[in-house]
Amino acid sequence: MIRYYTAGESHGDSLIGILEGMVAGVKIDRNRILEELRLRRLPFGRSKRMSIEKEEFEIISGVRDEFTTGAPIALRILNEDVKELKGFVPRPSHADLAGCMKYGFKNIHLIAERASARETSMRVALGTICKIFLSNFGIDFVSHTVRIGDVQSEKIYDFDFIKERRLASPIFCVDKENEGLMMKKIEEAESSGDTIGGETEVIVKGVPPGIGSHVHYDRRLDFKIGGAILSIPGVKGIEIGKILSLGSVNNDPIFIKNGKIKRRSNNAGGIEGGISNGEEIILRLKIKPPPTLRRNFPSIDLRSGKPSSAPQLRGDTCIVPSVGIVAENVLALEIANLFLEKFGGDNLEETKINWMNYIKKIKWG
């Protein structure tokens, strides 16, 4: 079973993460982790602060000579911009005000520092270790931008096409007709001191049937995925597969081809009754515009109760592509956990034997 913790603040010394439950014998490529951290940081629409956020990290424990040992893996990501901030005007749509009320503060930074999405860097780093583990079983992840503001891509692309092309786009959008329009929307929002939301699609391929369970609500794959995805700051909705209005159109027909069980469509998005069904897991995430604006917006000073405009901190104009990267890795943490619950093992070889026996038995693939 995989468990993980993160600690650290946006302008604190560093972020700390612990991943417990990873099997021994998984080769950890530091560059893979660096690459995922870089992808989270870089997309078009993010703020200049991103050039300050660094990807320097240390593996403190749980990995020896590049291979996991089965012991907890501890990571540390260093912050460059270390400072103590003070401010008393909460930013609407952030945790500032509700957090100050709950914890008894007036200085919003005592809340904002931890609520900041900087924390998601550590979830990306820990998630990448799970991605590397799952790649040994042919499981892979991709995300791409499908909407910015009111510019929507209606086209359907397959996993390999997205994987091949999305990095050529500054906003991870493979729809060339709409990519420029989406970027224009981000520029327009930026130039008026505003921000903009949208949607990203995340696809996981290679997950065998049988991850998660129907037997109890909190063992359902959708329960685990839903909670994890909605815990990403700024994500306000998630859709699994497609929901069409009539059952006869919505259901995915089952048939046999060359002795293997197949489905003609994948409206279920890879999950039926809380269990992975062997099709690609397809999720659409609805992401709100980042709340911090570079224009006046009503708030109050918590010391006096008098009206005051929310602080105009430098921030991201659009976070949609970055959220896709965070979501891939957060999903990897959840899927690795359920994968190990199903197949067990203390080292990679054991897990592989268990997985192989099962795959042969169910004639999947």
Ligand X SMILES: Cc1cc2nc3c(=O)[nH]c(=O)nc-3n(C[C@H](O)[C@H](O)[C@H](O)COP(=O)(O)O)c2cc1C
Of the candidates 288, 294, 342, 352, which one interacts with ligand X according to CB under 6 A?
288
Radius of gyration of the chain (CA): 21
Residue 299 contacts ligand X per CB under 6 A: no
Residue 117 contacts ligand X per CB under 6 A: yes
Q: How far apart are CA 314 and CA 195, in angstroms?
A: 11
Residue 292 contacts ligand X per CB under 6 A: yes
Shortest gap between Cβ of 287 and ligand X (angstroms)? 8
Which residues are paired to 18 by β-bridges? 5, 74
Q: How far apart are CA 82 and CA 63, in angstroms?
A: 28
Q: How far apart are CA 119 and CA 21, in angstroms?
A: 21
Buried/exposed code over 133-162 (b: 16+ C-beta within 10 A; e: otherwise): bbebbebbbbbbbbbbbebebeeebebeeb
DSSP H helical ranges for the chain: 30-41, 96-103, 109-115, 119-135, 159-165, 176-191, 221-230, 247-250, 320-343, 348-362
Quick one: three-class SS letters along 86-114? CCCCCCCCCCHHHHHHHHCCCCCHHHHHH
**Stretch of 10-18, 79-87, 201-209, 229-237 lying at the interface with ligand X (CB under 6 A):** 229-237
Residue 238 contacts ligand X per CB under 6 A: no
For ligand X, the closer CB: 221 or 232: 232
Residue 351 contacts ligand X per CB under 6 A: no
Show the tokens assigned to 342: 């199903």
**Stretch of 31-39, 58-66, 265-273, 322-330 lying at the interface with ligand X (CB under 6 A):** 322-330
Name, in order, each residue with C-beta under 8 angstroms of 55's C-beta and a sequence gap of 6 or more: 34, 37, 38, 41, 77, 121
Residue identified by tokens 């998984």 is 26
Residue 294 contacts ligand X per CB under 6 A: no
Shortest gap between Cβ of 288 and ligand X (angstroms)? 6
CA separation (Å) from 276 to 35, 182, 259, 313? 28, 33, 20, 42
Of the candidates 232, 275, 281, 283, which one interacts with ligand X according to CB under 6 A?
232
* Interface characters, 42-71, with ligand X (x: CB under 6 A): -----x------------------------
For ligand X, the closer CB: 26 or 310: 310
Shortest gap between Cβ of 211 and ligand X (angstroms)? 25
Binding footprint of ligand X, residue count (CB under 6 A): 19
Residue 234 contacts ligand X per CB under 6 A: yes
CA angle 69, 71, 76 (to 5 degrees): 100
**Stretch of 149-157, 232-240, 256-264, 269-277 lying at the interface with ligand X (CB under 6 A):** 232-240
Of the candidates 97, 182, 228, 326, which one interacts with ligand X according to CB under 6 A?
326
Range 166-225, binding ligand X (CB under 6 A): none
Show the tokens assigned to 287: 């992401």
Residue 95 contacts ligand X per CB under 6 A: yes
Sign of torsion, CA 160 201 348 16? positive
Shortest gap between Cβ of 102 and ligand X (angstroms)? 14
Shortest gap between Cβ of 201 and ligand X (angstroms)? 16
Coil, strand, or helix at residue 6?
strand
Shortest gap between Cβ of 172 and ligand X (angstroms)? 13
Cα-to-chain-centroid distance, residue 86: 30
Residue 291 contacts ligand X per CB under 6 A: yes
Shortest gap between Cβ of 95 and ligand X (angstroms)? 6
CA separation (Å) from 231 to 25, 74, 90, 103, 285? 30, 22, 21, 20, 12
Shortest gap between Cβ of 236 and ligand X (angstroms)? 7
Of the candidates 322, 329, 337, 351, which one interacts with ligand X according to CB under 6 A?
322
Residue 316 contacts ligand X per CB under 6 A: yes
Report which residue type is found at 221. L
Residue 94 contacts ligand X per CB under 6 A: yes
For ligand X, the closer CB: 43 or 278: 43
Q: Which residues bind ligand X (CB under 6 A)?
A: 47, 94-95, 115, 117, 120, 232-234, 288, 290-292, 315-316, 319, 322-323, 326
